[in-house]
Amino acid sequence: MPFTSSLVIATYNWPEALEACLKSVLQQQQMPDEIVIADDGSGNDTRQLIAKYKEIFTIPVVHVWHPDEGFKLAAIRNKANAKATGDYIIQIDGDLLLHKDFVKDHIAAAKQGCFIGGSRVILNQALSAQLLTKESREISLFQKGVSNHLNGIHSSLMGKVLSRLIPSKDASGIRGCNMGYWKKDFIAVNGYNEAQTGWGLEDTDLVMRFYNCGLKRTYFKLRGIVYHLWHAEKSRDNVTANHLILQKTIQEKAVRCENGVQQYLAANNPN
């Protein structure tokens, strides 16, 4: 059955990386039906950049913003997903460069009852800086500054075969920067738990609730390739508190969180 897709891009005050990301979206072999930018309180430079790319893309570009009140990625992703009109959400971060078949791979791999947790190729500081200053962003797995090489090998056919042979049953390697799921499944678990603020584990908590409601994870190697630009690590001050929330989700086999996406769905659909 045909379905629509929304590419949801999270960003915060790094317009140079976001522009590089958007340029890689322009090179996609298959476009999503819309782009939704989940902006965790960026300033005017990011707003102007998004306005510019709204004129460049031939698909809708929606900017969802809230004030900067610290690291509230869970909340802004909930707000963006509530606004998204696609049946299927492809979730990335705005500090990624996408392989030309990234969206195509996600759409081809989307299956009812399943979600996708992809991986990433890591770029070091020097190579990242170089890629941000050059118009050409061709990346070779053999060049200096690239790690996690296996995550950069692309073969849609082999990836599809392996996904039938290799089960993925846990939350290991889950990165919110490269995920795919049905919007209805996201709503069923009430999206991200906004009690988790600051860096860390909000994606794992979401995935555990996906499992608890009966979803399966699709093995997604050799497909959906992204290149992660280097940046300084975020503060991990809230990891302990976030871990306690995750442990409660696991112990209670919770399906829904209390403070999630539902509040924004009601706001978007008052009738």
| Bridge partners for 62 per DSSP | 36
Q: How many Å apart are CA 219 and CA 197, to the nearest integer?
A: 28
Q: What is the DSSP letter of 84?
A: -
Which residues, including other chains, have CB under 8 Å from residue 15's CB and lie 6 or more apart?
A: 42, 45, 46, 49
Q: How many Å apart are CA 221 and CA 223, to the nearest integer?
A: 5
Q: How many Å apart are CA 204 and CA 210, to the nearest integer?
A: 10
pTM for the structure as a whole: 0.94
Least-confidence region, from 17-26, 41-50, 62-71, 157-166 = 157-166
Q: Are 153 and 222 in contact (CB under 8 A)?
A: yes
57-74: average pLDDT: 96
Q: How many Å apart are CA 258 and CA 56, to the nearest integer?
A: 39
| Bridge partners for 216 per DSSP | 114
Rg (CA), the chain: 18
Residue 237 has a pLDDT of 73
pLDDT above 50 (res 258): yes
Residue 142 has a pLDDT of 80
* Percent of the chain surpassing pLDDT 90: 76
Task: Give the model confidence (pLDDT) of 177-231 as tens digits.
Answer: 999 999 999 999 999 999 998 877 899 999 999 999 999 999 899 999 999 999 9
